[in-house]
Chain A
Amino acid sequence: MGFGQILAKRVGYGLVLLIAVVVLNFTLITIAPGDVADAIAGDMGGADASVLVEIRQRYGLDQPFMSQLWRYLSSVAVMDLGYSYFYNTSVTELILQRLPATLLLIFSSQILAISVGVLLGVMAARKPNSLVNLCVTFLSLFGFAAPVFWTGILLIILFVSVHPVFPVGGMMNAALIDASFFEQSINIAYHLVLPMVTLASIYLALYSRLTRASMQEVLGSDYIRTARAKGLRENKVFYKHALKNSLGPLVTVAGLQFSAVMSGAVVVEAVFNWPGLGTLALQAILARDTPTIMGILFFSSLVVIVVNIFTDLVLRMIDPRIRAE
Chain B
Amino acid sequence: MTDTAHTTELKDENVVATSPWREMATMFVRNYAAVAGLVLLTLIILFAFVGPLIHPVDPFEMVWAPFTTPMQDGFILGTDYLGRDILAAMMVGGQVSMAIGLSAALVSVTIGVSVGAFAGYYGGLIEELLMRFTEFFQVLPTLLFSMVIVALFGASLLTVTLAIGVVSWTAVARVTRSEFLRIREMEYVAAARSGSARDLYLIFNVILPNALPPIVVQANLMVGSAILFEAALSFLGLSDPNVISWGQVIGSNRPYILDAGFAVAIPGFAIFLTVLAISLVGDGLNDALNPKLRQR
Contact = CB atoms under 8 A, between A and B. Distances in A.
A262 B144 contact: yes
Contacts, number: 139
B276 A141 contact: yes
Given A145-B276, A147-B232, A216 B296 contact: yes
Nearest to A293: B148
A304 interface: yes
Interface string A27-63: 0110011100000000000000000000000000000
A32 B152 contact: yes
Nearest to B139: A304
Interface string A203-218: 0000000000000100
B236 A270 contact: yes
Contacts of A304: 139-141
Interface string B204-239: 000000000000000000001000100110011110
A142 B228 CA distance: 13
A141 B280 contact: yes
Nearest to B274: A145
A260 interface: yes
Interface string A135-152: 000000110111111100
B147 interface: yes
A215 B58 CA distance: 53
Interface string A278-309: 10011001101000010011001100110010
Contacts of A130: none
B70 interface: no
Band of interface residues on B: 35 or more
Contact of B235 (A17, A142, A270): A270
A313 interface: no
B279 A144 contact: yes
Nearest to A262: B141
Contacts of B238: 285
Contacts of A146: 268, 272, 275
Given A147-B228, A157-B257, A160-B258, 10 more contacts: A17-B136, A33-B152, A33-B153, A142-B272, A145-B276, A157-B265, A263-B142, A267-B235, A270-B236, A300-B144
23 contacts: A21-B139, A28-B148, A29-B148, A144-B279, A145-B273, A146-B272, A147-B275, A148-B232, A149-B250, A149-B268, A150-B272, A153-B254, A153-B261, A154-B268, A161-B261, A168-B258, A216-B296, A260-B142, A266-B236, A285-B147, A286-B151, A297-B141, A304-B140
The 5 closest A-B pairs by CB, nearest first: A150-B268, A263-B143, A32-B152, A145-B275, A145-B276
